[in-house]
């Protein structure tokens, strides 16, 4: 399956003419996962051709307005579009009381079920993937990053070796690929005898807002894509640190330390109309770097 990352909003704190507030959609076939819902997200989804009805789960990184003020409008539009499918919303403590206050003040109650899971260590398991949260280093308030991790796909059967053991293609191949031994003519054949190494599932990490942080390095080890905030260039290093943000140089160092595949910089301060200084700063340290732009699509082929 090809996973498509769609950057819906790539600005920091305030929108600009070309950048909306933070939101990233992960398109998994017909299903969509949303990471952060800055104000205006639903409009950008419309422009990107992403239906709110396809969103199965939302993951909010932290309760700074630029990352979640788009939630009430999106929920209301889901209701107007006759959504009946339940929706999962994950976020740090406080997200439930925010939603309750919105529903109480507006008198709007979604006609579909919303399951809110709030906490610092969240895990959402689906058949083929898991989304886990981890704490990042932002301001004094709780802030999370998220990792999308697919299960590894079993390796291929070495048919030549299997035939030598008298094992012809058939249902037993599947049993072995599932990791169970089979018995053939009184002899046990174990998966490791004939099954090659597993195909690694995709891993995509999104930091939300953070200073350079060891937990990001930890959770991004071996990630295919690391989407790291990069609010400033290092000319504003002190400001970045004080406000709990990263520079492009910080993000590149984290990507290098983690051995991530591709680094994508996002959460770009409104002061940069031209993002090339961020790109050149990061890519001098970590060459596999892109700066996210609104509506940018990244398609990554996974093993499934
Ligand atoms: Zn922010
Ligand atoms: Zn923030």
* CATH classification of the domain holding 138: 3.60.15.10
Percent of the chain's residues with pLDDT above 90: 96
- pLDDT given for residue 303 in this prediction: 87
Average pLDDT over residues 135-159: 95
How far is the centre of ligand 2, averaged over its atoms, from the C-alpha of 12 (Å)? 8
- pLDDT given for residue 16 in this prediction: 97
Average pLDDT over residues 190-219: 96
- pLDDT given for residue 15 in this prediction: 97
The per-residue b/e assignment along 55-79, b for 16 or more CB within 10 angstroms, e otherwise, is: bbbbbbbbbbebbbbbbbbbbbbbe
How far is the centre of ligand 2, averaged over its atoms, from the C-alpha of 125 (Å)? 26
Average pLDDT over residues 293-301: 97
Counting ligands in written order, the one closest to the CA of 12 is: 1
Same domain as 166, residue 91: no
Count: domains in the chain? 2
Spatial contact of 182 and 172, defined as CB atoms under 8 Å apart: yes
Same domain as 184, residue 95: no
Same domain as 280, residue 206: yes
How far is the centre of ligand 1, averaged over its atoms, from the C-alpha of 304 (Å)? 33
Checking if the pLDDT of 176 tops 90, the result is yes
Counting ligands in written order, the one closest to the CA of 10 is: 1
Same domain as 241, residue 142: yes
> Ligand 2 being an ion, which residues bring their Cβ within 5 A of it?
64, 209
> Ligand 1 being an ion, which residues bring their Cβ within 5 A of it?
66, 209
Q: Of 168, 194, 220, which residue sits at a domain end? A: 194
Same domain as 113, residue 175: no
Same domain as 111, residue 10: yes
- pLDDT given for residue 1 in this prediction: 87
Among residues 82, 21, 89, 9, which one has the least CA distance to residue 55? 89
How far is the centre of ligand 2, averaged over its atoms, from the C-alpha of 209 (Å)? 5
Counting ligands in written order, the one closest to the CA of 141 is: 2
Counting ligands in written order, the one closest to the CA of 21 is: 1
Same domain as 212, residue 73: yes
How far is the centre of ligand 1, averaged over its atoms, from the C-alpha of 71 (Å)? 15
- pLDDT given for residue 127 in this prediction: 93
- pLDDT given for residue 299 in this prediction: 97
Same domain as 236, residue 169: no
How far is the centre of ligand 1, averaged over its atoms, from the C-alpha of 97 (Å)? 20
Checking if the pLDDT of 106 tops 90, the result is yes
How far is the centre of ligand 1, averaged over its atoms, from the C-alpha of 30 (Å)? 28
Same domain as 69, residue 53: yes
Q: Of 194, 217, 250, which residue sits at a domain end? A: 194
Average pLDDT over residues 29-58: 97
How far is the centre of ligand 1, averaged over its atoms, from the C-alpha of 272 (Å)? 15
Same domain as 38, residue 79: yes
- pLDDT given for residue 304 in this prediction: 84
How far is the centre of ligand 2, averaged over its atoms, from the C-alpha of 208 (Å)? 8
- pLDDT given for residue 220 in this prediction: 97
- pLDDT given for residue 140 in this prediction: 85
Same domain as 134, residue 78: yes
Q: Of 144, 174, 194, which residue sits at a domain end? A: 194
Where in the sequence is the domain holding 187, given as residue range(s)?
A: 159-194
- pLDDT given for residue 124 in this prediction: 97
Same domain as 164, residue 50: no
Counting ligands in written order, the one closest to the CA of 144 is: 2
Would you name the residues annotated as active-site residues? 66
Cβ-Cβ contacts under 8 Å for 136 (sequence gap 6 or more): 61, 143, 144, 145, 207, 208, 209, 210, 213, 215, 216
């Amino acid at each position: 399956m090809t996973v498509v990352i769609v950057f819906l909003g790539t600005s920091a704190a305030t929108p600009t003419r070309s950048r909306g507030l933070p939101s990233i959609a992960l398109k998994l076939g017909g299903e969509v996962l949303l990471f952060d819902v800055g104000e205006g997200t639903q409009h950008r989804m419309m422009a990107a051709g992403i239906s709110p009805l396809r969103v199965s789960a939302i993951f909010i990184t932290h309760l700074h307005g630029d990352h979640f003020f788009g939630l009430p409008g999106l929920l209301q539009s889901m209701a107007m579009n006759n959504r009946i499918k339940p929706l999962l919303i994950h976020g740090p403590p406080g997200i439930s009381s925010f939603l309750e206050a919105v529903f109480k003040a507006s008198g709007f109650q979604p006609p579909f079920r919303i399951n809110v899971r709030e906490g610092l260590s969240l895990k959402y398991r689906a058949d083929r993937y898991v989304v886990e949260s981890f704490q990042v280093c932002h301001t004094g308030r709780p802030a999370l990053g998220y990792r999308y991790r697919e299960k590894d796909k079993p390796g291929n059967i070495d048919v030549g070796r299997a035939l030598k053991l008298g094992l012809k293609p058939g249902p037993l191949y599947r049993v072995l690929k599932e990791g169970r031994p089979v018995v053939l003519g009184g002899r046990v054949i174990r998966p490791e005898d004939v099954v090659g190494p597993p195909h690694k599932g995709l891993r995509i990490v999104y930091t939300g807002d953070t200073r350079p942080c060891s937990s990001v390095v930890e959770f991004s080890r071996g990630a295919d894509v690391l989407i790291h905030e990069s609010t400033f260039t290092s000319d504003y290093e002190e400001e970045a640190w004080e406000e709990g943000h990263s520079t492009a140089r910080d993000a590149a160092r984290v990507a290098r330390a983690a051995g991530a595949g591709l680094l994508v910089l996002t959460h770009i301060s409104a002061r940069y109309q031209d993002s090339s200084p961020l790109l050149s700063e990061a890519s001098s340290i970590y060459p596999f770097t892109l700066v996210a732009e609104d509506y940018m699509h990244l398609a990554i082929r996974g093993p499934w």
